[in-house]
Structure 1
Amino acid sequence: MNDSNNASVIGGKSFTAVAINCAAKAGEWITTKLGNYSSLELKHSAHDLVTEVDKGSERLIRNLVATHFPDHSFLGEEGVEPGPEASAQALEEAKDAEYLWIVDPIDGTTNFVHSFPFFCVSIALAYRGEVIVGVVYDPVRDELFVAEKGKGAYVHGKRMKVSGEATLRESLIATGLPADHHYALPLNLKGVTAIAPQVRNLRIAGSAALHMAYVAAGRLSGFWEIGLNSWDLAAGALLIQESGGVVTDTKGEPYTLAVRNVAASNGHLHNELVQALEHAGAQA
């Protein structure tokens, strides 16, 4: 058994159990605030939103983690200054931590603000830079997606497996509309223009973490997006990998916590997806 598997329990406490408990408690609280938030602020742009519910959810998760593992490091979206440079710097400062919790307290805040029911809590734990636990919780549907490194991925207690589509032509692919309208959005739209005619259909639902969970569950064949952050991707990446899929950057290089431009799939059509992005000039 390798170090990352040995690291799944410390002091008799299961990391996965703590992650699940944090996601469940945060998700339960978030749903009580749906349609009832009191403050809305802009972050990096007019399309990058935050509410007091995002901040409260992150505080709740941070406090619960600290109760069980006070020596662990914590990287949460709401504890980082807005903008890609600040996000990259925050990860750089935290990357050498032995244990690092990586949290998006509400992935899909715009959806939450509009009461559009497609948002989630995303919690990952990295051990020496490698994600060993990933939890994505959709509180509206009460769906809990859970993965442990080397132990598979599950939803509703059943093991997940990626879909079997072999080509883009028969696939359902998801992407996003990045909040960065100067750099990331134009590149993503290039990809949309190129890939939409090649696939069965596209979905843009507004939560990268849930899109990735859906790839892991076989509901989507693949997903790509430009300009994401570690907290958007870490949990979902492990879900996909443990379900038999592939996660890389948009150029096909292996996934790491530093990846911001992601391509994820069932594996069968991954090269075709990456090549389509390359031909479109949409890799970043």
Structure 2
Amino acid sequence: MVGSANLNIMIKAARKAGRGLVKDFREVENLQVSVKGAGDFVSRADLNAEKILKEELMGARPTYGWCAEESAEEEGQDPTRRWIVDPLDGTTNFLHGLPHWAISIALEHKGQVVAGVIFDPAKDEMFYAEKGAGAWMNDTRLRVSGRSRMIESIFATGLPFGGRADLPETLKDLGRLLPACAGVRRFGAAALDLAYVAAGRYDGFWERRLNAWDMAAGMIIVKEAGGLVEPLAPGGDILSDGEVICANDAIFSNFSKVIRG
């Protein structure tokens, strides 16, 4: 698929930052790591990746706004467009030598995400989508799974760590969902969880207390792969509330009823 100029800029930036991350991942034991908070680490690799992404994306589109994990938000000369970037989703996996982490880049226009890229450098899997143009992984068109029975479906989520206050709510979710499905996975990278729903590897995903950069690219990739994406609280706003639920059309209703209690 040949995408728009903006999508090609996003893919090029992700690949460039990915090369640096792969190099650092091979030397994970030697990374300089500083602690941001309980269970939440930031590494030199993370900061270097964001620097590369910002240089590439803002260099190509200097009037756009900027929203990313490791730097201050900036409003652009063009207030209708902004980049939403996570330079390293799955930092804890990265620092523990687990090859499951990704770069996430979204382009927002007038409050709507119109393009998204999620790049998994360790597996060389590039997930991407543009509004109205479908979703892709490398050269393969993506489609959400066709499963229609909850008991045959697997789901993904994140589990609260480091004493987070949402642990009781998540345990209640699991108590309702586990008896009704084929399993729940917790791989530690929300962007890839969303990409895997788009690819049909998971049948659905939900999580609370996420940031815009964790979800923005994945949302459009799931939608363009034929999935349904909603805020956990009906009528809410996914990016500002930090809560999302998604699945294929056949099981979304039952899945959302279980999670919403």
Is the pair's TM-score, using the shorter chain for normalization, greater than 0.5?
Answer: yes
Q: Quote the Cα distance in structure 2 between the aligned partners of 1:60 and 1:189.
A: 39
Residue of structure 1 equivalent to 2:62? 70
Residue of structure 1 equivalent to 2:11? 20
Aligned-pair CA distance for 1:252: 4.1
- Equivalent runs, 1:57-206 vs 2, <5 Å: 57-80=49-72, 97-179=79-161, 181-206=163-188
Q: Quote the Cα distance in structure 2 between the aligned partners of 1:235 and 1:180.
A: 26
Q: Secondary structure at the match of 2:16?
A: helix
Q: May I ask how many residue pairs the two structures share in their alignment? A: 256
1:30 aligns with 2:12: no
Q: Quote the Cα distance in structure 2 between the aligned partners of 1:166 and 1:119.
A: 29
Aligned-pair CA distance for 1:41: 2.2
Aligned-pair CA distance for 1:249: 1.3
Residue of structure 2 equivalent to 1:39? 32
Q: Quote the Cα distance in structure 1 between the aligned partners of 2:192 and 2:108.
A: 19
- CA gap 1:207/1:99 in 2 versus in 1, 3 angstroms: same
- CA gap 1:175/1:249 in 2 versus in 1, 3 angstroms: same
1:273 aligns with 2:230: no
Which of residues 218, 230, 241 in structure 2 aligns to 1:236? 218
Q: Which runs of 4+ in 1 moved over 3 A?
A: 252-256
What amino acid does structure 2 have at the position aligned with 1:68? A
What amino acid does structure 1 have at the position aligned with 2:20? W
Aligned-pair CA distance for 1:201: 0.9
Q: Quote the Cα distance in structure 1 between the aligned partners of 2:65 and 2:110.
A: 11
- CA gap 1:60/1:179 in 2 versus in 1, 3 angstroms: farther
Kept in 2, the 8 Å contact 1:187–1:226? The answer is: no
- CA gap 1:254/1:247 in 2 versus in 1, 3 angstroms: farther
- Equivalent runs, 1:1-12 vs 2, <5 Å: none
Aligned-pair CA distance for 1:240: 0.3
Q: Quote the Cα distance in structure 2 between the aligned partners of 1:161 and 1:225.
A: 21
Q: Sequence identity of aligned pairs in percent?
A: 37
Query: What's the Cα RMSD here?
Result: 1.9
Q: Quote the Cα distance in structure 2 between the aligned partners of 1:26 and 1:51.
A: 14
Q: Secondary structure at the match of 2:240?
A: coil
Q: CA offsets, 1:91-141, max 9 Å, x none? A: 9x78x9311100000000000000111100000000111111100000010
Aligned-pair CA distance for 1:42: 2.4
Gaps of 5+ in 1: 1-7, 81-89, 280-284
Kept in 2, the 8 Å contact 1:129–1:257? The answer is: no
Residue of structure 2 equivalent to 1:4? none
Kept in 2, the 8 Å contact 1:209–1:235? The answer is: yes
Aligned-pair CA distance for 1:36: 4.5
Residue of structure 2 equivalent to 1:214? 196
What amino acid does structure 2 have at the position aligned with 1:235? A
Residue of structure 2 equivalent to 1:5? none
Kept in 2, the 8 Å contact 1:167–1:272? The answer is: no
What amino acid does structure 1 have at the position aligned with 2:44? E
Q: Quote the Cα distance in structure 2 between the aligned partners of 1:33 and 1:244.
A: 35
Q: Which moved more, 1:245-254 or 1:232-241?
A: 245-254
Aligned-pair CA distance for 1:166: 1.3
Q: CA offsets, 1:1-38, max 9 Å, x none? A: xxxxxxx85xxxx1000000111111111010011453
Q: Which moved more, 1:182-191 or 1:111-120?
A: 182-191
Aligned-pair CA distance for 1:143: 0.3
Kept in 2, the 8 Å contact 1:39–1:52? The answer is: yes
The two structures have a TM-score, normalised by structure 2, of 0.92
